[in-house]
Amino acid sequence: MIERIEDFLRNAKYPEHCIHCEGIDGRIENPKHHPSYEFGTDCNLSCIFCYSKIAEMRGVVIREGYYGEMNPKAITISQFGEPFYYGAEKLLSVIRGLRDIFGDVRIDIQTNGVIFDERICREADIMMISLDAGSREKYRRICGRDAFERVLRSIEMSSKLTYTSVRTIFIPGVNDDELERIAKISALAHELFLQPVSLYREQEDLIQSVDLERAESLWEYLEVASRLSEIADVRIPGCLLMNLRRFSEENGVENLRYLRRNAIGEVPKIEREWKFVL
Protein backbone atom coordinates (compact mmCIF):
# COMPACT_ATOMS: atom_id res chain seq x y z
CA MET A 1 0.00 0.00 0.00
CA ILE A 2 2.84 2.40 0.83
CA GLU A 3 4.34 1.94 -2.62
CA ARG A 4 0.99 2.52 -4.31
CA ILE A 5 0.39 5.73 -2.36
CA GLU A 6 3.95 6.87 -3.03
CA ASP A 7 3.46 6.26 -6.76
CA PHE A 8 0.15 8.11 -6.68
CA LEU A 9 1.65 11.18 -5.01
CA ARG A 10 4.57 11.17 -7.42
CA ASN A 11 2.53 10.80 -10.59
CA ALA A 12 -0.77 12.55 -9.81
CA LYS A 13 -1.51 15.66 -11.82
CA TYR A 14 -3.17 18.77 -10.51
CA PRO A 15 -6.87 19.00 -11.41
CA GLU A 16 -7.31 21.23 -14.45
CA HIS A 17 -9.52 23.47 -12.33
CA CYS A 18 -6.62 24.06 -9.92
CA ILE A 19 -4.29 25.42 -12.60
CA HIS A 20 -3.78 29.17 -11.97
CA CYS A 21 -5.15 28.79 -8.42
CA GLU A 22 -3.19 30.52 -5.66
CA GLY A 23 -3.45 27.33 -3.61
CA ILE A 24 -0.76 25.57 -5.65
CA ASP A 25 1.68 28.47 -5.32
CA GLY A 26 3.63 27.71 -2.15
CA ARG A 27 4.92 31.29 -2.03
CA ILE A 28 1.48 32.73 -1.23
CA GLU A 29 0.84 32.76 2.51
CA ASN A 30 -2.96 33.07 2.46
CA PRO A 31 -4.14 31.76 -0.90
CA LYS A 32 -7.67 32.35 -2.19
CA HIS A 33 -9.87 30.34 -4.50
CA HIS A 34 -10.29 31.42 -8.11
CA PRO A 35 -12.38 34.51 -8.83
CA SER A 36 -16.00 33.50 -9.29
CA TYR A 37 -19.32 34.61 -10.66
CA GLU A 38 -22.20 33.82 -8.32
CA PHE A 39 -25.94 33.70 -8.97
CA GLY A 40 -27.11 32.78 -5.48
CA THR A 41 -27.67 29.64 -3.40
CA ASP A 42 -30.71 28.15 -5.16
CA CYS A 43 -30.43 24.57 -6.39
CA ASN A 44 -32.56 21.78 -7.86
CA LEU A 45 -31.07 19.14 -5.54
CA SER A 46 -30.93 18.72 -1.77
CA CYS A 47 -27.58 17.02 -1.15
CA ILE A 48 -26.93 15.80 2.38
CA PHE A 49 -23.48 17.45 2.49
CA CYS A 50 -24.40 20.80 0.89
CA TYR A 51 -22.63 23.81 2.39
CA SER A 52 -24.84 26.34 0.59
CA LYS A 53 -27.79 25.34 2.78
CA ILE A 54 -25.61 25.75 5.87
CA ALA A 55 -24.53 29.18 4.66
CA GLU A 56 -28.18 30.19 4.34
CA MET A 57 -28.93 28.86 7.83
CA ARG A 58 -26.09 31.00 9.18
CA GLY A 59 -27.38 34.10 7.45
CA VAL A 60 -24.73 34.27 4.74
CA VAL A 61 -26.03 36.25 1.77
CA ILE A 62 -24.53 35.56 -1.64
CA ARG A 63 -24.94 38.64 -3.80
CA GLU A 64 -25.13 37.99 -7.52
CA GLY A 65 -22.10 39.11 -9.45
CA TYR A 66 -18.38 38.80 -10.10
CA TYR A 67 -15.98 38.44 -7.19
CA GLY A 68 -12.30 38.96 -7.93
CA GLU A 69 -9.59 41.03 -9.49
CA MET A 70 -9.85 42.59 -12.92
CA ASN A 71 -7.10 40.45 -14.45
CA PRO A 72 -8.26 36.86 -13.82
CA LYS A 73 -6.79 33.83 -15.53
CA ALA A 74 -9.74 31.62 -14.55
CA ILE A 75 -13.27 32.21 -13.27
CA THR A 76 -15.52 29.66 -11.58
CA ILE A 77 -19.29 29.71 -12.12
CA SER A 78 -20.19 29.18 -9.31
CA GLN A 79 -19.10 28.23 -5.77
CA PHE A 80 -22.63 28.44 -4.36
CA GLY A 81 -25.89 27.26 -5.88
CA GLU A 82 -26.55 25.55 -9.21
CA PRO A 83 -25.81 27.82 -12.20
CA PHE A 84 -28.20 25.98 -14.55
CA TYR A 85 -31.03 26.57 -12.06
CA TYR A 86 -31.02 30.21 -13.14
CA GLY A 87 -31.52 29.30 -16.80
CA ALA A 88 -29.22 28.35 -19.65
CA GLU A 89 -29.84 31.65 -21.45
CA LYS A 90 -28.74 33.67 -18.44
CA LEU A 91 -25.71 31.44 -17.89
CA LEU A 92 -24.73 31.76 -21.54
CA SER A 93 -25.09 35.54 -21.33
CA VAL A 94 -22.84 35.69 -18.26
CA ILE A 95 -20.13 33.54 -19.88
CA ARG A 96 -20.08 35.76 -22.95
CA GLY A 97 -20.19 38.90 -20.83
CA LEU A 98 -17.16 37.76 -18.83
CA ARG A 99 -15.27 37.04 -22.03
CA ASP A 100 -16.18 40.48 -23.39
CA ILE A 101 -14.66 42.04 -20.27
CA PHE A 102 -11.69 39.76 -19.63
CA GLY A 103 -10.86 38.32 -23.04
CA ASP A 104 -9.44 34.81 -23.22
CA VAL A 105 -10.13 33.94 -19.58
CA ARG A 106 -10.74 30.30 -18.64
CA ILE A 107 -14.35 29.64 -17.63
CA ASP A 108 -15.04 26.69 -15.29
CA ILE A 109 -18.66 25.66 -14.72
CA GLN A 110 -19.45 23.84 -11.48
CA THR A 111 -22.75 21.98 -11.84
CA ASN A 112 -24.69 19.00 -10.55
CA GLY A 113 -25.37 17.89 -14.12
CA VAL A 114 -29.14 17.50 -13.74
CA ILE A 115 -29.72 20.07 -16.49
CA PHE A 116 -27.61 19.94 -19.64
CA ASP A 117 -27.20 22.38 -22.52
CA GLU A 118 -24.54 21.70 -25.11
CA ARG A 119 -24.20 25.43 -25.86
CA ILE A 120 -22.79 25.91 -22.37
CA CYS A 121 -20.33 23.05 -22.87
CA ARG A 122 -19.12 24.59 -26.10
CA GLU A 123 -18.56 27.95 -24.40
CA ALA A 124 -16.99 26.63 -21.19
CA ASP A 125 -13.38 25.51 -20.89
CA ILE A 126 -14.03 23.08 -18.04
CA MET A 127 -17.27 21.43 -16.97
CA MET A 128 -17.15 20.11 -13.40
CA ILE A 129 -20.06 17.72 -12.87
CA SER A 130 -20.84 16.36 -9.41
CA LEU A 131 -21.46 12.64 -8.96
CA ASP A 132 -21.47 11.23 -5.43
CA ALA A 133 -23.11 7.86 -6.04
CA GLY A 134 -22.72 5.06 -8.55
CA SER A 135 -26.30 3.79 -8.40
CA ARG A 136 -29.74 5.29 -8.86
CA GLU A 137 -30.99 4.50 -5.36
CA LYS A 138 -27.91 5.77 -3.53
CA TYR A 139 -27.92 8.92 -5.68
CA ARG A 140 -31.51 9.61 -4.66
CA ARG A 141 -30.63 9.12 -0.99
CA ILE A 142 -27.59 11.40 -1.13
CA CYS A 143 -28.90 14.10 -3.48
CA GLY A 144 -32.63 14.04 -2.71
CA ARG A 145 -33.83 13.50 -6.27
CA ASP A 146 -34.13 10.69 -8.80
CA ALA A 147 -31.80 12.23 -11.40
CA PHE A 148 -28.95 9.70 -11.63
CA GLU A 149 -29.50 8.78 -15.28
CA ARG A 150 -29.73 12.43 -16.30
CA VAL A 151 -26.36 13.14 -14.69
CA LEU A 152 -24.78 10.16 -16.45
CA ARG A 153 -26.02 11.49 -19.79
CA SER A 154 -24.64 14.93 -18.96
CA ILE A 155 -21.21 13.48 -18.18
CA GLU A 156 -21.20 11.48 -21.40
CA MET A 157 -22.30 14.38 -23.61
CA SER A 158 -20.13 16.99 -21.91
CA SER A 159 -17.04 14.80 -22.25
CA LYS A 160 -17.47 14.85 -26.02
CA LEU A 161 -17.63 18.64 -26.15
CA THR A 162 -15.16 20.04 -23.62
CA TYR A 163 -12.82 19.11 -20.77
CA THR A 164 -15.01 17.38 -18.20
CA SER A 165 -14.17 16.67 -14.58
CA VAL A 166 -16.36 14.40 -12.47
CA ARG A 167 -16.32 15.74 -8.91
CA THR A 168 -16.92 13.25 -6.13
CA ILE A 169 -17.06 13.77 -2.37
CA PHE A 170 -15.54 10.84 -0.44
CA ILE A 171 -17.97 10.24 2.45
CA PRO A 172 -16.75 7.26 4.52
CA GLY A 173 -19.68 5.26 5.83
CA VAL A 174 -22.03 6.70 3.20
CA ASN A 175 -20.71 6.22 -0.33
CA ASP A 176 -17.73 3.86 0.11
CA ASP A 177 -19.39 1.06 -1.83
CA GLU A 178 -20.20 3.44 -4.69
CA LEU A 179 -16.70 4.69 -5.46
CA GLU A 180 -15.56 2.02 -7.89
CA ARG A 181 -18.74 2.42 -9.93
CA ILE A 182 -18.22 6.19 -9.92
CA ALA A 183 -14.64 5.70 -11.11
CA LYS A 184 -15.81 3.51 -13.99
CA ILE A 185 -18.33 6.18 -14.99
CA SER A 186 -15.63 8.83 -14.68
CA ALA A 187 -13.45 6.95 -17.14
CA LEU A 188 -15.73 8.49 -19.79
CA ALA A 189 -14.59 11.94 -18.67
CA HIS A 190 -11.15 13.52 -18.52
CA GLU A 191 -10.61 13.22 -14.77
CA LEU A 192 -12.15 12.19 -11.47
CA PHE A 193 -11.68 14.94 -8.89
CA LEU A 194 -11.96 13.20 -5.49
CA GLN A 195 -12.50 15.46 -2.49
CA PRO A 196 -12.68 14.57 1.22
CA VAL A 197 -15.99 15.40 2.86
CA SER A 198 -16.40 18.51 4.97
CA LEU A 199 -19.08 18.36 7.64
CA TYR A 200 -20.92 21.12 9.47
CA ARG A 201 -22.33 20.95 12.97
CA GLU A 202 -25.86 21.58 11.75
CA GLN A 203 -25.71 18.32 9.73
CA GLU A 204 -26.47 16.11 12.72
CA ASP A 205 -27.93 13.20 10.74
CA LEU A 206 -25.02 13.14 8.31
CA ILE A 207 -22.44 13.29 11.09
CA GLN A 208 -24.13 10.27 12.69
CA SER A 209 -23.85 8.36 9.39
CA VAL A 210 -20.23 9.23 8.58
CA ASP A 211 -17.29 7.20 9.84
CA LEU A 212 -15.55 10.24 11.31
CA GLU A 213 -12.35 8.38 12.13
CA ARG A 214 -11.88 7.50 8.47
CA ALA A 215 -13.11 10.88 7.24
CA GLU A 216 -10.30 12.56 9.16
CA SER A 217 -7.57 10.13 8.07
CA LEU A 218 -5.53 11.47 5.16
CA TRP A 219 -3.98 8.02 4.79
CA GLU A 220 -7.43 6.50 4.25
CA TYR A 221 -8.22 9.18 1.69
CA LEU A 222 -4.96 8.59 -0.19
CA GLU A 223 -5.50 4.83 -0.11
CA VAL A 224 -8.88 5.27 -1.77
CA ALA A 225 -7.58 7.79 -4.32
CA SER A 226 -4.63 5.59 -5.27
CA ARG A 227 -6.86 2.52 -5.62
CA LEU A 228 -9.36 4.33 -7.83
CA SER A 229 -6.52 5.69 -9.97
CA GLU A 230 -6.25 2.19 -11.43
CA ILE A 231 -9.69 2.76 -12.98
CA ALA A 232 -9.81 6.49 -13.79
CA ASP A 233 -7.53 9.53 -13.90
CA VAL A 234 -7.95 10.50 -10.25
CA ARG A 235 -6.98 13.98 -9.11
CA ILE A 236 -7.10 15.44 -5.60
CA PRO A 237 -7.28 19.15 -4.68
CA GLY A 238 -4.11 20.85 -5.88
CA CYS A 239 -3.40 22.64 -2.61
CA LEU A 240 -3.69 19.35 -0.72
CA LEU A 241 -1.52 17.48 -3.23
CA MET A 242 1.19 20.14 -2.99
CA ASN A 243 1.29 19.98 0.81
CA LEU A 244 1.18 16.18 0.97
CA ARG A 245 4.10 15.98 -1.42
CA ARG A 246 6.04 18.47 0.66
CA PHE A 247 5.32 16.54 3.86
CA SER A 248 6.27 13.17 2.37
CA GLU A 249 9.53 14.56 0.98
CA GLU A 250 10.48 15.93 4.39
CA ASN A 251 9.15 13.13 6.61
CA GLY A 252 8.65 10.05 4.44
CA VAL A 253 5.48 8.72 2.84
CA GLU A 254 4.94 6.19 5.63
CA ASN A 255 4.41 9.01 8.14
CA LEU A 256 1.42 10.31 6.20
CA ARG A 257 -0.57 7.65 8.07
CA TYR A 258 -0.33 9.85 11.18
CA LEU A 259 -1.71 12.99 9.52
CA ARG A 260 -5.27 13.95 10.39
CA ARG A 261 -7.64 16.56 9.03
CA ASN A 262 -10.51 18.21 10.83
CA ALA A 263 -13.60 17.04 8.95
CA ILE A 264 -15.82 19.50 10.84
CA GLY A 265 -15.35 22.65 8.81
CA GLU A 266 -16.39 26.24 8.55
CA VAL A 267 -18.72 27.22 5.74
CA PRO A 268 -16.70 28.43 2.76
CA LYS A 269 -16.92 32.14 2.22
CA ILE A 270 -16.13 34.31 -0.75
CA GLU A 271 -12.86 35.98 0.12
CA ARG A 272 -12.62 38.11 -2.98
CA GLU A 273 -14.26 41.51 -3.40
CA TRP A 274 -17.56 41.91 -5.26
CA LYS A 275 -17.05 44.01 -8.39
CA PHE A 276 -20.05 43.98 -10.74
CA VAL A 277 -23.13 42.13 -11.95
CA LEU A 278 -23.92 41.26 -15.55
> How far is 41 from 85, CA to CA, in rounded Å?
10
Phi then psi dihedrals of residue 271, to 5 deg: -90, -15
In a domain, 46, yes or no: yes
Q: What is the mean pLDDT of residues 93-108?
A: 98
Is there a domain that residue 278 lies in?
Answer: no
Average pLDDT over residues 100-110: 98
Residues contacting residue 92 through CB under 8 Å, at least 6 positions apart: 117, 119, 120, 123
Mean pLDDT across 98-121: 97
60 — pLDDT class (breaks 50, 70, 90): confident
> At 29, is the pLDDT very low, low, confident or very high (cuts 50, 70, 90)?
confident
Give the integer Cα–Cα distance in Å for 214 and 230: 21
pLDDT the model gives residue 106: 98
> Which domain covers residue 38, as residue numbers?
2-265
Residue 276, domain member (yes or no)? no
pLDDT of 209-236, one tens digit each? 999 999 999 999 999 999 999 999 999 9
In a domain, 156, yes or no: yes
**Please, which pLDDT band fits residue 1 given cuts at 50, 70 and 90?**
confident
Query: Domain for residue 41, yes or no?
Result: yes
Report the percentage of the chain scoring pLDDT > 90. 91
Within-domain flag for 271 = no
Number of domains in the chain: 1
The pLDDT confidence band at residue 271, using thresholds 50, 70 and 90, is: confident
Decide if 277 is inside a domain: no
Question: Does residue 213 lie within any of the structural domains?
Answer: yes
CATH code of the domain in which 254 resides: 3.20.20.70
Q: Which helix (H) or strand (E) holds 180?
A: helix 179-186
